[in-house]
Amino acid sequence: MHATALQPASNGAEWGESAIWAWKSYRCHWRVLGEPEAPAMVLLHGFGASSSHWRHNAAPLSRAGYRVYGLDLIGFGRSEQPGLHPQIRLDNRLWARQLAAFVEQVVQKPAVLVGNSLGGLTALTTAAFRPELTTAVVAAPLPDPALIKPLPHRLSPRRRRLRNAAVPLLCRLLPLELLVPLISRTSLLRMGLQGAYSRSIRSDRELHQLIAHPARRRTAARSLRAMSVGMALRPRGATAPALLERLAKQDRPLPLLLLWGRQDRFVPLLIGENLQRQHSWLKLCVLDGSGHCPHDESPEHFHQELLRWLDINLERTSALEAQQRA
């Protein structure tokens, strides 16, 4: 592990002590707040965001007794923004490997994984493949097109070759080098962001800047193209339905909480309600007055539900582990 301090602790979007960690030649930005001996919690941002998006959450969660980490997933925030690579696909499997290595090398103990949107899918993927690094999983919410239309178990070789050739070609044809700077520097960005919130964000300059800055980096368009290809070409085993099936088959499924904004226009609440019916071992909590980013829009309610659930489930987990040791 190589970590270099960048800046002292501060409030708002620049919360915590910030550092750079090198993983597989990628430069990854992370931050931390809280006492070293406290239980670990890793916060994972959603698409287009970064660890700065947990601006209203890190300090309260730290005061609640956690050592709070924020990780910028590869392609986002201040982490490296790679392009298309023949051997590496930028998808939730890569982000899960990044997160698992982060927990092993930087956090150095199992952690509660809390993710917004894409971060929730990354947390779920990590828990499914590396449960020994995870004490609990929270997705707020859990997005995946496969939750609406699951992928087939197997494609014919011909259809697979056609898909693998067509998706990169179509993504290369998109003029992202023109579109991404245009969106990041015009009112289009604010319009898109507003869709994620039920309240008005017109006067929230900090929110606009923490989303706009990474999108204005010269490598942002190539990274967006790489993750578009990677997510489109994922195998069925990397989709949320298959990951939930994998978790359910564990001897003792990890505690899993879905926090869902009732006014979420990006990932409708109906998806969360269906998941709760399909998997009785997970918990769904609905946050009224929130959209797609409940942690940022209704932080007090978010913390209340999250901490209450963690108190119950981590205590239950500790009791079961004590019984097994006895």
Q: If you average pLDDT over residues 106-111, what whole number do you get? A: 98
Angle (deg, nearest 10), helices 176-184 and 205-215 = 160
- Return mean pLDDT, the chain: 91
Task: Classify strands 3-7 and 111-115 as parallel, antiparallel or unpaired.
Answer: unpaired
DSSP code of residue 149: S
**Residue 199 parent element (H or E):** none
Q: If you average pLDDT over residues 139-152, what whole number do you get? A: 89
pLDDT tens for each residue of 33-86? 999 999 999 999 999 999 999 999 999 999 999 999 999 999 999 999 999 887
Domain span including residue 210:
3-325
Domain CATH code at residue 299: 3.40.50.1820
| Confidence (pLDDT) at 173 | 81
pLDDT at 165 over 80: no
Q: Identify which of 191, 183, 170 has the alpha carbon closest to the alpha carbon of residue 220.
A: 183
Query: Tokens at residue 109, please?
Result: 């103990």
pLDDT at 123 over 60: yes
Task: Classify strands 40-44 and 256-261 as parallel, antiparallel or unpaired.
Answer: unpaired
| Confidence (pLDDT) at 322 | 46
CB 40 within 8 A of CB 110: yes
φ and ψ at residue 19, rounded to 5 degrees: -155, 170
Counted domains in the chain = 1
CB 121 within 8 A of CB 240: yes
Tell me the C-alpha distance between 99 and 110, whole Å: 11
Q: If you average pLDDT over residues 196-208, what whole number do you get? A: 96
User: Can you tell me whether residue 6 is helix, strand or coil?
Assistant: strand
Q: If you average pLDDT over residues 158-166, what whole number do you get? A: 76
pLDDT at 163 over 90: no
> 277: which strand partners?
none
Model pTM greater than 0.85?
yes
Tell me the C-alpha distance between 40 and 32, whole Å: 10
Tell me the C-alpha distance between 273 and 276, whole Å: 5
Which residue reads 């730290």 in tokens?
A: 62
pLDDT at 194 over 60: yes
